[in-house]
Structure 1
Amino acid sequence: MKLYVYDHCPFCTRARLAFGLKKQPFDLAIIMEGDVETPTRLVGKKMVPILQKDDGTSMGESLDIVAYVDGLSGERLFAGKDEAVDAWAKDAWPLLLKLIIPRFTKGDFPELATPEAREAYRLREEKAFGDLEALMAGTPGFIAELGPKLEALASLLEGRTAVSLSDITLWPLLRSLSIVKGVSFPTPVFVYMKRLESEGGVPLLFDQAI
């Protein structure tokens, strides 16, 4: 099986994490930001992630891919949900976007390896989110607003060891947030991030924090 992704994309990270947690082998393929032909050939439109199955057919939509991978072997890991964790992710997502999107356009991601691809991505995100440099300038205020939210999340993750579908949606958000320099992650959150990094085989982004 081959999984087509953008490295920075949290929705793609969902699928990568599912493969890792299920210990299911796969080939990882990066789609360049400006590549319209590959995803269109596979699923009829420009989107990621895309899973090309062993039978040659392809499927999109991150949670559909997660469900497919979960059913390939062994006990299903991602059947249940944690409503409190899901509510936290939904509430925090708009604030996280203000922090992560401008940094994604500057990050060292293979899908942005050419100047043309990076500029295409920057323009796309600027159209969606407005002045990206203004968002960068607002970082101190955004981080201050995020602090209490992370403390609330810490109480939800304290001692957490089980894995559910909620982790498939939460952990990619925290991975994305690890590209933001200056964020202080409470210990239970940091321990959770590092545990699933190890178990899922998807690296966090601390090494390129901006």
Structure 2
Amino acid sequence: MLTLIHFDFCPFCQRVRLALGYKGIVFNEQPARFYGPEYFQSISGFGRLPVVEYPDGSRQGESLEIIAELDRRFPETPPLCRGAISDSEWEGVQAWRARISDMLFRLIAPTLPQYASLGPDPRAMTYYRNRMESWLGDTLEGLQKRRKEWYAGMEVDLQDVAARVAVHGFYTPMFSVADTLITGDLTGLRLLEDIQLPPELTTYFARVEAAAQTTLLPTRG
């Protein structure tokens, strides 16, 4: 059986969870803690996650490469890449994602400690805080205070994709790798305080999760 080594809060890991769920591939989960590259290497053979171990014992990292490989290894399941989205559409969603990247991570970095595997774990939070604050150039608290500024900088791009999924249902009329990327990467926005996402996006996220039989939000309580 396939094994997924992952963090529940990680957007890149969430992409793969959505892909596996949509394809109906039964898999073992090996949840990991955010303790740093040496720990990641010790449990997966890679310096970062997600990592998939296939039934033949081979392992693979990089979320989008994993999703493409799932199409190849499980041809009887619904396609997510070729056959589900055109090259030009995929290039379009990747360009869209690149435009919002800096602002997106400044928005979601303070929200991810709401996940039980991160926020309550002092060792994980120490590594997470140091890594995020070094990368993004501000404290998590400072980023949180400026959330409306970051959101305003990407609001037009969010409205664009909201309008598209309102028409098609998914990014295209078929569920595809684009939906795993958009929903996985944007899920942290659903945890923002005092910011209302376009209702079309809220409906879309629920539609994607239902199609993948997967819930990405942190468990409450």
Structure 1 residue 15 displacement after superposition = 0.9
Gap change, CA 1:164 and 1:147, over 3 Å in 2: same
**Residue type at the aligned position of 1:94:** D
Given the alignment of the two structures, is residue 77 of structure 1 paired with residue 84 of structure 2, yes or no?
no
Match of 1:191 in 2: 203
Asked if structure 2 preserves the Cα contact closer than 8 Å seen for 1:12 and 1:62, the reply is yes
Match of 1:65 in 2: 66
Q: Name the SS for the 2:115 alignment partner.
A: coil
Most deviating of 20-29 and 112-121: 112-121
| Mapped partners of 1:85, 1:44: distance in 2 | 30
Q: Deviations over 1:40-95 (max 9, x none)?
A: 24654321001111122211111121112223142423222424333322212211
**Residue type at the aligned position of 2:133:** E
Gaps (5+ residues) in structure 1? none
Match of 2:122 in 1: 115
Match of 1:143 in 2: 151
Q: Name the SS for the 1:158 alignment partner.
A: helix
Q: Name the SS for the 2:156 alignment partner.
A: helix
Given the alignment of the two structures, is residue 202 of structure 1 paired with residue 214 of structure 2, yes or no?
yes
Structure 1 residue 194 displacement after superposition = 0.6
**Residue type at the aligned position of 1:136:** Q
Asked if structure 1 preserves the Cα contact closer than 8 Å seen for 2:4 and 2:53, the reply is yes
Q: Deviations over 1:3-36 (max 9, x none)?
A: 0111111111111111011011111111111165
Q: How many residues align?
A: 207
Q: Name the SS for the 1:3 alignment partner.
A: strand
Structure 1 residue 206 displacement after superposition = 7.5
TM-score by length of 2: 0.83
Structure 1 residue 38 displacement after superposition = 5.5
Question: Cα RMSD over matched residues?
Answer: 2.3
Most deviating of 111-120 and 22-31: 111-120
1:158 to 160, 163, 166: 166
| Mapped partners of 2:100, 2:219: distance in 1 | 23
| Mapped partners of 1:5, 1:19: distance in 2 | 13
Match of 2:30 in 1: 29
Asked if structure 1 preserves the Cα contact closer than 8 Å seen for 2:12 and 2:63, the reply is yes
Structure 1 residue 165 displacement after superposition = 2.3
**Residue type at the aligned position of 1:86:** Q
Gap change, CA 1:149 and 1:19, over 3 Å in 2: same
Most deviating of 76-85 and 171-180: 76-85
| Mapped partners of 2:122, 2:34: distance in 1 | 11
**Residue type at the aligned position of 1:134:** G
Structure 1 residue 146 displacement after superposition = 3.4
Structure 1 residue 207 displacement after superposition = 6.8
| Mapped partners of 1:61, 1:85: distance in 2 | 18
Given the alignment of the two structures, is residue 124 of structure 1 paired with residue 155 of structure 2, yes or no?
no
**Residue type at the aligned position of 1:66:** I
Given the alignment of the two structures, is residue 172 of structure 1 paired with residue 175 of structure 2, yes or no?
no
Gap change, CA 1:45 and 1:206, over 3 Å in 2: closer
**Residue type at the aligned position of 1:9:** C
| Mapped partners of 1:189, 1:58: distance in 2 | 34
